[in-house]
Amino acid sequence: MMELRIKNISKTYGKSKKALCNVDISLTPGIYGLLGPNGSGKSTLMNIITDNLKADRGCVYYDGDPISKLGSKYREKIGYMPQQQEIYDNFTGEEFLWYMAALKGLEKKYAKNKIDNLLKVVNLTSEKNKKIGSYSGGMKQRILIAQALLNDPDILIMDEPTAGLDPVTSVEINSLINEVQERYNTSSIIITHDLTCAKA
């Protein structure tokens, strides 16, 4: 079973905004209830373990190898669903997936098929030409799930996939997560406040 070993990670933003101090944990596929109030550093940790942010001190190991050394070999294995942000509001759903496919270096023809397919899986085909800014919270989560799957990852890493959603939508998102895990045979590391988020 794959392991992400987080060893003595510290991160300070700017001169004195301490976000993480000597975090030392091991993550294997599963659902983790990292219970910390807003601002306690959960997303900072997720960005570090997905190699989107550099720690000041410490190291993350994927099955024993430092992710900094594995580089793209590591990033190709993971699909990251970041916490919902407002930054993609001006893209349509489809444009956003094309943008992410380009960042992940997917070949055009492959990306076209993959995007059409994933839009179906997350049930957004009929909304693909609408701006993400007009999407509901659940639709935004669904497009974020789709982008995480573009590169056929082995591991999905999700930062609070149901945060801010109403209970009915949370259930829908949790079952979509279970469905895509089975369909694509991925394992997941999910950080959540939502303790109803069942089987990983």
Asked if residue 140 binds ligand ADP (CB under 6 A), the reply is no
Strands (E), the chain: 4-13, 17-27, 30-32, 57-62, 65-66, 78-81, 155-159, 187-191
Say which DSSP state 131 is in.
B
User: From the CB of 5, what's the least distance to ligand ADP, in Å?
Assistant: 20
Out of Mg ion, ligand ADP, none, what residue 44 binds, judged by CB under 5 to 8 A for its kind, is ligand ADP
Residues 70-100 as b/e (b if ≥16 CB within 10 A, e otherwise) read: beeebbebbbbbbbbeeebeebbbbebbbeb
CB 193 within 8 A of CB 35: yes
Work out what residue 71 binds among Mg ion, ligand ADP, none; the CB cut-off runs from 5 to 8 Å by kind: none
Direct distance between the N- and C-terminal alpha carbons of the chain, in angstroms, rounded to an integer: 14
String marking each residue 63-102 x if it binds Mg ion according to CB under 5 A: --------------------x-------------------
Site map 30..69 versus ligand ADP, x via CB under 6 A: ------x-xxxxxxx-------------------------
Q: How far is the CB of 145 from ligand ADP (least distance, A)?
A: 19
Neighbouring-strand partners of residue 92: 131
Contact window for Mg ion (CB under 5 A) among 1-9, 35-43, 86-94, 140-148: 35-43
Tell me which residues touch ligand ADP (CB under 6 A).
13-14, 17, 19, 36, 38-44
